Structure 1
Amino acid sequence: MTTSFPMNAGDGPYSYFKNSHLQREVLDGANRMVRDAIIQKLDIKIMLSSSNTIRIADFGCSVGPNTFIAMQHVVQALKDKLLQVTNSTNNIPEFQIFFNDHVINDFNTLFQSLPIDRSYYAFGVPGTFHGRLFPSRSIHFAHSSCAIHWLSKIPKELLDEKSPAWNKGSIHYICTSNVEVVNSYVAQFEKDMEMLLNASAEEIAEGGMMVLVTPFASYTRLMIFFGSSLMDLVNELVDEADAKTLMINLRAVLEGLIINHFGSEMAEEACARTILKSEDISTWMKANYEKSCQLFVALKRK
């Protein structure tokens, strides 16, 4: 069984519920792109030919509130698309939204904070999005934001002491010459993307659509895979990000994983130290973003 590490639960000072502002900025920045995709490309007539219910899935919903904001954007865009096609506000379909995340995700916090004025029926779907979660052709619109960079498992090469990718000697591999480690992660990411897309191809109904939004996976790989529009999102995040806020955000995201590897005492110390180095981290973020842009431009020219 694959070990999973969900975002910090509850609504405390280091919870994901209270510390997911950067992910909210990603959603806000991508909102126009998601809306344009729905308005320009979604075949809503085919979707409604067999049912008066539109079923939407959000993969990697976590505990809120970002998933609710994203889903409200999607529902409103779908309503506007319907109005554009029918020129009528009669017979508005009903909406079902399936909130998906790992089985140990804090669904209690998620559903306790559901918007009271929501215009959809809410359901929870526990399980990994790297495999099938829904019946064939049952989902009309699938969405995921800030989630697909999570791998389904650690690349097996990193656990083999005889492998060139044996993960030893460095806490990170950004500046090392050992490309085998990076290549192992890239290969696993590509396998996971294939599993996700293959599963979704079975689940999404005719005329439906899938939208994936993330600036957090392998940056250059995503630029090649999804296009340069993500550069604008990441540029905005880097310009506006406060390193101290970012470190608290990362604690909400990664604390469970750090505790699993190093224990709670060391995790607490690591989080405290990163806050003290926030100015240095800000400088590093900007420098590495510029390098990523230069690399992407070079790759696009080839």
Structure 2
Amino acid sequence: MEKVAIESFAMNGGVGDNSYANNSSLQRSGFEATRSLIHEAIMEKLDIKHLTSGNSFRITDLGCSAGPNTFAAVQDIVEAIEQKHQSEGTQLPLPEFHVYFNDQVSNDFNTLFASLPLERRYFATGVPGSFHTRLFPEKSINLVHSFAALPWLSKVPEEVVNIHSLCWNKGRIHYTNAPVEVKEAYKGQFAKDMMRFFNARAKEVVHGGLMALCFPCLPDGQPNSHFLINVLFDLLGSALMDMVQMGRVDEAKVASFNIPFYASSTKEVVTLVETNGRFTIERMETLGSPILQAREGSECYSKTTRACTEGLIREHFGHDDEIINELFDRLTKKISDSDSILEESYMTYVFVLLKRKED
């Protein structure tokens, strides 16, 4: 199996005030918009008779984290498959469902499994590891689901933190409002990671199996500088630079820190799927998500950003709680002061349904 150096970190674990479990409502709003699409996709595109083998149906949720969203998604999928099975009028019994919850090895699987629904109709297994690599045996998975995880890169592009490179991103922690060379470096890393992702899944998914993927994505032609997630990362970088000016954080540390997240365009996604050639695009839709006003949503946005990035920040800057708390207090204030910026921002997801081709 291919070995890939992984530098990204899991979302905040536990059920505390700064946990992902308690700060993923923004992701949930995006997920709600896809629920009907996933149900329709299963009803229209899933071949129950062909895929069910040995009365077992295997599902994986890639990038599950430790929050409640993954359980809602899996429950919807299981119910849709059961309805599809009944609508076929087959005499075969309902399959047994095996669900594999995947995330980084540092993910809080203890919290995840402690909150498993008691009345679930599936067997649950944890699968630690990066979805940029192989995770399962060949032709063993019937349906892959992933929500909001794919833009997280396996690592920051190396040239972005190379002081001798044209892509050196000094003074910023993301490609938002950076020179075009920085964005191209991120784009290149995303393309490499997605090709690894598709190659791995092509081995693991049975012929005719489905992948239901939904993740933050730019509509073609929209500026990345107005994409909500990028705006939040830009404000976080600004907060860090303020702390540099005050002598609270070392400037060299900030210069070598970047967030491994890339929001691709829908056109890029289509190109990567077609270049890989192992899947067909059965359905693709762009979905909007509500934007809160800065004064109303500043704490929500700040806590969501913290839940997603604190592990990265602590690993790079150290585990000083005072510094971490100050950073996100500053971020909350910057968001609150940014009504005009958020008024121009947008938040969109792309839903892509892929089917594994015959070799």
Taking structure 2 as the reference length, the TM-score comes to 0.74
Report how far residue 218 of structure 1 moved.
4.4
The DSSP-based 3-state class of the residue aligned with 1:205 is: strand
Equivalent residue, structure 1, for 2:79: 76
What's the counterpart of residue 212 of structure 1? 213
Structure 1 residues 242 and 18, CA gap change in structure 2 (3 angstroms): same
Alignment-derived partner of residue 342 in structure 2: 285
| 1:299 counterpart residue number | none
Shift of the alpha carbon at 1:171? 4.0
Distance 2:108 2:165 in 1: 37
Distance in 1 separating the partners of 2:310 and 2:72:
25
Contact 2:160–2:168, Cα closer than 8 Å, also in 1:
yes
1:70 CA displacement? 0.6
Assess if the C-alpha contact under 8 Å between 1:160 and 1:166 holds in 2.
yes
In structure 2, runs of 5+ residues without a counterpart are 218-260, 271-282, 349-359
Query: In the alignment, is residue 262 of structure 1 matched against residue 317 of structure 2?
Result: yes
> Is the alpha carbon distance of 1:65 and 1:207 closer, same or farther for their aligned partners in structure 2, counting shifts above 3 Å?
same
1:167-246 counterparts in 2 under 5 A? 167-176=169-178, 178-215=179-216, 218-219=262-263, 221-222=265-266, 224-225=268-269, 229-230=285-286, 232-233=287-288, 236-238=289-291, 242-246=297-301
- How many angstroms does 1:277 deviate by? 2.9
1:140 aligns with 2:184: no
On the 8 A contact 2:105/2:128 being kept in 1, the answer is yes
Name which of structure 1's ranges 208-217 and 182-191 shifts more when overlaid on structure 2: 208-217
Separation in structure 2 between the aligned mates of residue 115 and residue 262 of structure 1, nearest angstrom: 37
The answer to whether the 8 Å contact 2:153/2:262 transfers is no
Q: How do 1:57-72 residues align onto structure 2 when only pairs under 5 Å count?
A: 57-72=60-75
**Which residue of 5, 9, 31 maps to 1:5?**
9
Q: Shift of residue 59 of structure 1? A: 0.3
* Whole-angstrom distance in 2 between the partners of 1:4 and 1:218: 13
User: Aligned in 2, Cα 1:107/1:239: closer, same or farther, shift over 3 Å?
Assistant: same
Q: 1:33 aligns with which of 37, 47, 67?
A: 37
Kindly indicate whether the alpha-carbon contact (under 8 Å) linking 1:102 and 1:127 is maintained by their aligned counterparts in 2: yes
1:243: how far off? 3.0
Q: Partners in 1 of 2:161 and 2:292 — Cα distance? A: 37
Mean CA deviation greater in 202-211 or 78-87: 78-87
C-alpha contact (below 8 Å) 1:46/1:206 kept by paired residues: no
RMSD (CA atoms): 2.2
Partners of 2:8 and 2:153 within 8 A in 1: no
Q: Does 1:14 align with 2:15?
A: no
1:12 shift after superposition = 0.6
SS across alignment from 1:229: strand
C-alpha contact 1:243 1:281 (8 A) present in aligned 2: no
More helix by share: 1
Q: In structure 2, what is the equivalent of residue 295 of structure 1?
A: none
In the aligned structure 1, how far is the partner of 2:211 from the partner of 2:174? 33
Moved over 6 A (4+): none
How many Å separate the matches in 2 of 1:19 and 1:83? Answer: 37
Cα 1:184–1:214 shift into 2, 3 Å: same
Alignment TM-score, normalising by the size of structure 1:
0.87
**How many corresponding residue pairs?**
285
Q: CA deviation at 1:190?
A: 0.9
Contact 1:145 1:213 in 2 (8 A): yes
CA distance in 1 between partners of 2:131 and 2:174 (Å): 27
Q: Secondary structure at the match of 1:238?
A: coil
User: Residue deviations 1:140-163, cap 9 Å, x none?
Assistant: 000000100110111121232221
1-structure distance, mates of 2:129, 2:173: 30
In structure 1, distance between residues paired with 2:174 and 2:339: 18
Secondary structure class of the residue paired with 1:57? strand
Q: Which residue of 1 aligns with 2:59?
A: 56
Rounded Cα–Cα distance in structure 2 between residues aligned with 1:246 and 1:261: 22
- Over 3 Å counting, the alpha-carbon distance change for 1:243 and 1:104 in structure 2 is same
Per-residue CA deviations over 1:194-251 (Å, capped at 9, x if unaligned) read 1111110110012210111111664452365269732x33xx3325882321111111
The structural deviation recorded for 1:87 is 5.9
Q: Which runs of 5+ in 1 are unaligned?
A: 293-302
